[in-house]
Chains A and B, each alone.
Chain A
Amino acid sequence: MPRPEDCCLSRAPSCKLIEKPSVMQDTGMQQETGNMDSTETSRPSAGDTAIDVVRVSKIFPGDPEVRALDDVSVAIRRNEFFTLLGPSGCGKTTLLRLIAGFEPPSMGSLRLRDKDISRLPPNRRPINTVFQNYALFPHMSVAQNIAFGLEMLGKPRDEIAATVDEMLKLVQMEALKNRRTSEISGGQQQRVALARALAPHPEVLLLDEPLSALDLKLRKEMQIELKRLQNETGITFIFVTHDQEEALTMSDRVAVMSAGKILQIGAPREIYEAPAERFVANFIGESNFLDAELAGDTVRLKAGGSFRVAVPDGVAAGPVSVLLRPEHASVRIGEPGPEELPVQIENVVYSGDATVAHLRLSTGEAVKARMPNAPGVAPLSSGAKGAAMGIAPGGITVLKD
């Protein structure tokens, strides 16, 4: 992960931002929230925790009551780009709202570094939010919006003006400084919302699907932009999305959520290549699930073939379910070799850069194989009987459920 110093060497203008004391140090908040001493501007050591969510549950009363978060624990590190990923209604927004202080947890506690913040109102937490609908103040100009947080912290005027200019430059919005927020485009509003939340230099920035309202091209640009801002400011980002690709490309770590629980936390590669559960595998990327038998560190597929695997904790020998990513499977016409499985090609779909073959194993299980297209290679034909499926080394992952 790039350190603040690294970016200072390469990007002079943003240095000021990092040297700036954090929100809590030069305001009344310091006394209120306790022992966050000024040595904190020094570089954090690896693994230093920014936000610690400890066994938090959130229950919305009603009939029936909604358990939006169910015993969630997660430690988010400082300077981390942390993503909450999950389907609609799984509790992502609820978790963000709890961290921001808009709702109290029903059970459990929230800690910012070593301080319990569960009972602090949102205006006393050095945490800012980029709202999904941006929530820019319509009666203020772009610059006034960005200045708002600083004004509320009682910063001196000249410092506010300087920071606002710096923020405008950071999000490349200097030219539109005096525009009303209703007179700028969606992408520009998004930048202003970002600048407004970054201006008070919070310790943690919460982003609730900030890119979902943008078109694909702008979205890609903003993804890069966000990543750049996170590197330059050294602020911990907690980012919510239900777009798995976005989560994988941007994050240092991802937490996959489902029905109020966190199922797995890990680096994007870990989540993709070694999903712990079927839900995670299914939610991220495309998957084939196959029945198999585990003995020692070897799985035998029902459809034939034995493979060496890493066995996750808590999985006993016996019948198991394994994951095979489509891009780890390939198919060719001909008799199966020793490591290959006999298959029937049911359908072949050409999609530009790759060809996806829908196969059927001897057990009747359906499998998709995705193969990159090479120039001059003859296309597969559907319906061919004698075909063989190969599996890339390490392509089989054992799932817990």
Chain B
Amino acid sequence: MAEPARPTRGYSVRTLPGFAIVALFTFVALYAPIAILVVFSFNAGTSLAIWEGFSLRWYVQAAQNEQVLDAGLRSLYLAGFSASIATVAATMAALATTRTRRFPGRTMIYALINQPLMVPEIVTAVALLIVFAAVKVWTGHTSMIYLIAAHTAFCVPFAYLPIRARLETMDNTLEVAARDLYAPPWKVFTRVTLPLMWPGIIAGLMLAFVISMDDVVITEFVKSAGQDTLPTYMLGQLRRVVTPEINAISTVILVVGAILVSLFFALTMRRR
């Protein structure tokens, strides 16, 4: 019997020697530790390595731990604030870099907006530490404002990229058509531009939110006393006694993150 007809490609990466092994290894390295982490969050004993039966005790303990709740709420509040401000800024930046005539320095601005993607995070963190430490001493002011400012700044490029991508695939004549149909400029924006770029904005917001929630390095350097977020709290705990409570918290973060990322994909894939 002849082989079933297949479309001809230039080459097939799947037939390269070792492809299957490398792929398998990569997936195992990526997901096996996470799987183990999730499994042991349900361990009845205190060990991270010896299974002693199923229990939800660590979830209960985490939910009753004041410090966890406090850090968790702070993370949400910080991510919510920073991601929102960053998304507004990124939306304006995206409009300015796609909707205007090409102006001198536009590429430069593009590079500047994306700076946090290119500068190593530890460098930014140290720089912020030095500046904010001086400001804190000078003003005596130690509120969350420093964390919000820092998070907003490094979230902007993450919000910017999906919004810009959305704007670039949008048909410019739609706005011209709205103008032609008696819409003044602000109506063009609210009735046509904004609804069409909405999926990009939501995607940017969620991406920025996840990035802020996840941040350790900059937060660790910028936070004042009593301003632990969930990740920095967990980092602190790891230095002491480690119980599956950490696994339980991680699993919750994992689930929330997975939901947000799925929504992100659902939104960017739709309406193509």
Contact = CB atoms under 8 A, between A and B. Distances in A.
A133 B179 contact: no
Nearest to A124: B182
A105 interface: no
B253 interface: no
A135 B174 contact: yes
A129 B177 contact: yes
A196 B182 CA distance: 12
B262 interface: no
Interface string B171-212: 101101111111110010001100110000000000000000
Contact of B180 (A123, A137, A138, A153): A123
A153 B181 CA distance: 8
Nearest to B179: A122
A307 interface: no
Interface in A86-124: 100, 102, 121-124
A152 B195 contact: no
Contacts of A200: 181-182
A398 to B, nearest CB: 44
Contact of A123 (B173, B183, B271): B183
Q: Secondary structure at chain B's binding surface: helix, strand, loop or mixed?
A: helix
Contacts of B173: 131, 133, 135
A102 B177 CA distance: 10
Contacts of B182: 23, 123-124, 149, 152-153, 200
Nearest to A100: B180
Given A137-B192, A138-B196, A131 B183 contact: no
A135 B177 contact: yes
A148 B181 contact: yes
B200 to A, nearest CB: 13
Contacts of A131: 173, 176-177
Contacts of B196: 138-139
Contacts, number: 58
Given A102-B176, A152-B187, A135 B171 contact: yes
Nearest to B198: A139
A100 B180 CA distance: 7
B238 to A, nearest CB: 48
A74 to B, nearest CB: 21
Q: How many B residues are at the interface, by size bracket?
A: 10 to 19
A149 B271 CA distance: 24
Interface centre among B179, B180, B187, B192, by most A CB within 10 Å?
A: B180
A149 B187 CA distance: 11
A57 interface: no
Interface in A163-214: 196-197, 200
B181 A128 contact: yes
A123 B188 CA distance: 10
B27 to A, nearest CB: 37
Interface in B139-182: 171, 173-174, 176-182
Contacts of B195: 139
B108 to A, nearest CB: 23
Nearest to B172: A135
A128 B180 contact: yes
A128 B178 CA distance: 10
B81 to A, nearest CB: 29
A129 B180 contact: yes
Nearest to B184: A123
A153 B182 CA distance: 6
A152 B183 contact: yes
Nearest to B195: A139
A102 B196 CA distance: 21
Interface string B22-57: 000000000000000000000000000000000000
Interface centre among A100, A135, A196, A200, by most B CB within 10 Å?
A: A135
Contacts of A135: 171, 173-174, 176-177
A39 B120 CA distance: 72
B181 A138 contact: no
Contacts of B184: 123, 152
Contacts of B176: 102, 122, 131, 135
Interface string B213-250: 00000000000000000000000000000000000000
Given A123-B182, A138-B174, A148-B178, 6 more contacts: A123-B180, A135-B171, A135-B173, A135-B177, A148-B191, A152-B182
6 contacts: A102-B176, A129-B177, A133-B173, A137-B178, A149-B182, A200-B182
Interface of B: 171, 173-174, 176-184, 187, 191-192, 195-196, 271
